[in-house]
Amino acid sequence: MKVGACGTFVCALASVVLTAALAACGTPRRDEPLVGPFTTADGRLQRGRVSFDRYCYKCHGEGEGALGPGMNHLPLPRAMMRMQVRVGLGAMPSFKPDELSDAELDEILDYLVALRRHGR
């Protein structure tokens, strides 16, 4: 069966909505400490943290569930996080490549994945 562009978009959108709904069922970390100090000695992680602070912190501040949910507990794969940033959903705005470059987004995702692994 051939799926057109509209069908692909609907499947992608349904996947984002389902993943967001499942992620919303969890409780954001609120003041739960990370395991030891988290250092960003890697230049890529440092740039990711700077970009996170610039674009994401005002809503996802320090994983304490400010306006948006904390980011350090989400089990979302990178592809889903990337889609969430590019498409947006609910109160989450979309960030187009001319606002947040693909390189910056990759560094933010690297930073979030490293932060998530550190918190285990």
- DSSP one-letter code for 119: T
Per CATH, the number for 5-118 is: 1.10.760.10
Q: What is the pLDDT of residues 39-84, one digit of tens each?
A: 667 889 999 989 988 988 888 765 444 556 666 566 788 898 899 8
Q: Is the pLDDT of residue 27 over 70?
A: no
Q: What's the whole-model pTM score? A: 0.64
- In three state form, how does the secondary structure of 53-99 look? HHHCHHHHHHHCCCCCCCCCCCCCCHHHHHHHHHHCECCECCCCCCC
- The answer to whether residues 87 and 14 touch, using CB atoms and an 8 Å cutoff, is no
pLDDT over 90 percentage in the chain: 22
- Domain assignments of the chain as residue spans, ordered by start: 5-118
